[in-house]
Structure 1
Amino acid sequence: MNSEVVLITGANRGIGLALTEQYLVNGCSVIATCRDDATKTDLMSLKAQFTDKLSIESMDITSPETINRLANKLRQQNISLDLIVNNAGFLDRDNYSIHAIDYADAEMCFKVNALGPLFLTHCLLTLLNKTRLCKIAIISSSKGSLSQPQGVDWYGYRMSKAAANMLAINLSTELVDDNVAVVSVHPGWVQTDMGGSAAQVKVNDSALGIIKVINNLSIHNTGQFYDVSGEQLPF
């Protein structure tokens, strides 16, 4: 693993920050993206420890312009990526009923959780390392499953995570002959700003589980949906 180059979105806090730290500890080079420079304090602390291994890049997953800019910068630097982790997420917390919908928040869910990863993958595809198996991970949610029993809250979040799962399936089918494996991962109910303090899973435990799922990903099990324990989930 220690020669891999990993790009992680939404890396300034929560699961993204924990993933960044774990991959650095494992010897990987990490390109950590975040939307707001004012929120990268913890990333800068990691930078002090892993000077040559960590690159912090400003990128808004909802902005094709900033995604293109980053892709062009990496291309000019002759960067080859081994793994893309689409981690950045948005939750329309107040959209708990069809009778009370904030459509701007619902739309933002799609931009961050589904369309952003689609465009990012499109722009970074030519940067994937062609000498070995490359991987794309989409941090999804069991709340995007069409097969599991669901509540009715968080309309935009649930719909966008279902779309993210569809993206994983599409990419896995189209990229299999290019030696690119794709996985959708449910991180659990995690103690983050999004998950809240009542959540059951610690951030670092979720990150370690995600990494284990990614490590076990191959061209033979591409296009599947797992939780952090390694259990396969129904789409």
Structure 2
Amino acid sequence: MSDLVVLITGANRGIGFELTKQYLINGWTVIATCRNKKTSADLITLKDEFSEKLLIELMDITCPENIERLANKLSEESIKIDLIINNAGYLDQENKSIHDINYANAEMSFKVNSLGPLYLTHCFLSLMNKNRLCKIAIISSVMGSLTRERTVDWYGYRMSKAAANMLAVNLSNELVNDNVAVIAVHPGWVQTDMGGSCARENVKDSALGVMKVILNLSLETTGKFYDFKGEELPF
């Protein structure tokens, strides 16, 4: 296996898939998680090119049993992880007003965007290669910022991303003495299924920017919030 190992959630499409591809190109071993094989054709094609460097694992980030099962499997295989990228995301697009809320969809935003990364970090922390600096990146959004002026929109998504930002802050404070640095990253408004075709950024530019931000992450900058261009953002 490669000397450096990254686990990426939601790796079958969009930013997650591009991150998977770019880390493979850079020589990393990638553990790419997705919910089902039916939506993972691109990942399977990538497997043909990168063979043993790409491990495709089925995992639903909203299912604690799935997370535990994968953590146990990787532990039995003695795999150590250098980087976790909590990328899987969910957008409750219709929840644009308090007068018309789909609570189940708002709840799903929390399960995918903040509670999932919380439990995944809990289960995988013992697998991290703490003999050297390890990193955890949470793909967040400026939509979760409490201090930036924003119009009313997407209640569940925005609340869950604010919670994801708090997760990054909490983890950074608790894990700094364990040689683990944590960051929240806004990937930009990206041309993906979630972002839509009118989005400003193409997926490759976003992924490469996120990778650069993660590369520059250190224990001195742990707990910060950056966009994919490297600009620090207010929580």
Which category describes the TM-score, using the shorter chain as reference length?
over 0.9
Aligned residues: 234
Partners of 1:121 and 1:130 in 2: how far apart? 14
**Seq. identity, %:** 69
Partners of 1:66 and 1:38 in 2: how far apart? 18
Corresponding position of 1:212: 212
Corresponding position of 1:70: 70
1:182 maps onto 2:182 in alignment:
yes
In the TM superposition, what are the counterparts of 1:50-129 in structure 2 within 5 Å?
Answer: 50-129=50-129
**Mapped contact 2:31–2:54 kept (Cα < 8 A):** yes
Letter in 1 for 2:60: D
Letter in 2 for 1:33: T
1:52 counterpart SS class: helix
Per-residue deviation at 1:229? Answer: 0.6
Letter in 2 for 1:47: K
What is the aligned-residue RMSD (CA, Å)?
A: 0.6
Corresponding position of 2:131: 131
2:190 counterpart SS class: coil
Partners of 1:72 and 1:136 in 2: how far apart? 19
Corresponding position of 2:232: 232
Letter in 1 for 2:168: A
1:221 maps onto 2:221 in alignment:
yes
1:170 maps onto 2:166 in alignment:
no
Per-residue deviation at 1:3? Answer: 2.2
Letter in 1 for 2:66: T
TM-score (structure 1 length as normaliser): 0.99
Letter in 2 for 1:55: L
Partners of 1:229 and 1:15 in 2: how far apart? 15
Letter in 1 for 2:128: L
Partners of 1:15 and 1:122 in 2: how far apart? 24
TM-score (structure 2 length as normaliser): 0.99
- Structure 1 segments of 4 or more deviating over 3 A? none
Deviations 1:147-184 (A, max 9, x none): 10011110000000000000000000000000000000
1:51 counterpart SS class: helix
Partners of 1:148 and 1:62 in 2: how far apart? 29
2:30 counterpart SS class: strand
Partners of 1:138 and 1:194 in 2: how far apart? 17
2:199 counterpart SS class: coil
Partners of 1:62 and 1:200 in 2: how far apart? 29
Partners of 2:125 and 2:77 in 1: how far apart? 15
Gap regions ≥5 residues in structure 1: none
Partners of 1:134 and 1:10 in 2: how far apart? 20
2:52 counterpart SS class: coil
1:50 counterpart SS class: helix
Deviations 1:163-220 (A, max 9, x none): 0000000000000000000000000000000000000000010000000000000000
